[in-house]
Amino acid sequence: MIRVDDLVVEYSSRKSRRRALDGVSLRVEPGQVVGLLGPNGAGKTTLTKVLSTLLRPMAGAATVCGFDVVRERRSVQRSIGVAFGGDLGIYSRLSARDNLRFFAAMYGLPRRGLRERIHDVLATVALADRARDRVETFSRGMKQRLHIARAILHDPPVLLLDEPASGLDPVSAIELRQLVMSLREAGRAVLLTTHDLVEAETVCDHVNILSRGSIVLAGSPAELRSNAALDAGSRLELAVPPSALDQALASYGPLDAAAATGAGASVRVRDVAGAVRTVAQAFPDALPTLRVSHPTLEEIYVSRVDRP
């Protein structure tokens, strides 16, 4: 559905030239949600702009449903639904229904059946009862859902969602994640740009972490966590003194010295299974207090990205 190969984008001015994307490659298949994570300025929105035909790349190739984003722009535009999120991109003085009617005209949708289509799409995003209300009276969560309604109006197989949950309260964010997952179940390919690591972990089948225009890490959230556990180790916490824990685990070569915690001591090890067996033999009475934690996506993210 989406193929990106060695994509390069540069922004240039009279005084300077900045590479926003530097050899990015990725794939998004039907029925898959692929996340793009990264700090501000990492290149996430630039990649979304290229795929939505707003920006031409300097080098590399990008196709959507087999159509080239530069040479076959119109075909790409018919194949994608775009939601940039936030308050921008919709007409606040129009109602939800009139916004969709306007964009239906931009996609050349036939008038026959349009009323039903708009109703169905608004029902999908739980806005059918507010169809006639002006968008300026909507909450942020409702506006985000309207963005998605607009994106799926012409029934595209590919969705590009740029930070759709930005600024939402927790309940609205959960509702939006459920909506994104339902779009995946409908077989759409979704590229999701986000800052929200919980969102990436909950919704995405595959995550790409972008830093300074390059993908520095890619894989499913589970793969990223297990790979990071091999690299950075997992943390063992036990209600024993730090020195005793260091002594017991000396043969496993802990990654750092045991540190005191409120409940006892904690240490990072790579061979979690061996370390747990040793600890169980050395401190059988403290075993009920044993806790093992793997690196979170947040820890992985922080360890891999550079702020531009």
Partner 1 sequence: MRVLSALGAGAVLHLRVSALTPMAVVSSSLTPVGMGLLLCAGAADRGVAGQQLVSIAFIAVWGTMLVQSVIAVVQERNWGTMAMLATTPSGIALPLLGRVFAAAVHGLLSAAVVLLVLLPLVSTTDVLGLGLVTLVIALVGYAGVTLAIVSWIVRHRYASGGVNGLFELILLFSGAFVAMSALPAGLRPVGYLFPSVRVADASAGTLAVQLLVSVAWLAAGLLLLTGASNSVRKTGKGFLQ
The closest alpha carbon to 22, from 9, 36, 13, belongs to 9
- Whose tokens are 């979704």? That residue is 190
Cα separation, 127 vs 161, in Å, equals 19
**Residue 308 binds partner 1, judged by CB under 8 A:** no
Quick one: CA dihedral 234, 237, 243, 249, positive or negative?
A: negative
State which residue, 60 or 242, has the beta carbon closest to partner 1: 60
Shortest spacing between CB 190 and partner 1, in angstroms:
16
Which of positions 109-138 make contact with partner 1 (CB under 8 A)? Answer: none
Shortest spacing between CB 2 and partner 1, in angstroms:
15
Stretch that binds partner 1, among 28-36, 70-78, 181-189, 270-278 (CB under 8 A): 70-78
Helix (H) or strand (E) holding 87: none
Shortest spacing between CB 53 and partner 1, in angstroms:
6
Which of positions 80-99 make contact with partner 1 (CB under 8 A)? Answer: 80, 82, 84, 86-94, 98
Structure tokens at 252: 């496993």
For the chain, report the end-to-end CA distance as a whole number of angstroms: 30
Shortest spacing between CB 55 and partner 1, in angstroms:
5
Contacts with partner 1: how many residues (CB under 8 A)? 34
The C-alpha angle with vertex 200 and arms to 303 and 268, in degrees rounded to 5, equals 35
- Interface mask toward partner 1 for 24-63; x: CB under 8 A: ----------------------x--x--xxxxx-------
- Collapsed DSSP state (helix, strand, coil) of residue 252: helix
Shortest spacing between CB 98 and partner 1, in angstroms:
7
Among residues 29, 59, 71, 102, which is the contact residue for partner 1, using CB under 8 A? 102
Strands (E), the chain: 2-12, 17-28, 33-37, 59-64, 67-68, 80-83, 158-162, 189-194, 206-211, 214-219, 234-238, 259-261, 264-269, 291-293
Which of positions 178-237 make contact with partner 1 (CB under 8 A)? Answer: none
Name the site residues for partner 1 (rule: CB under 8 A). 9, 11-12, 46, 49, 52-56, 74, 77-78, 80, 82, 84, 86-94, 98, 101-103, 105-108, 150
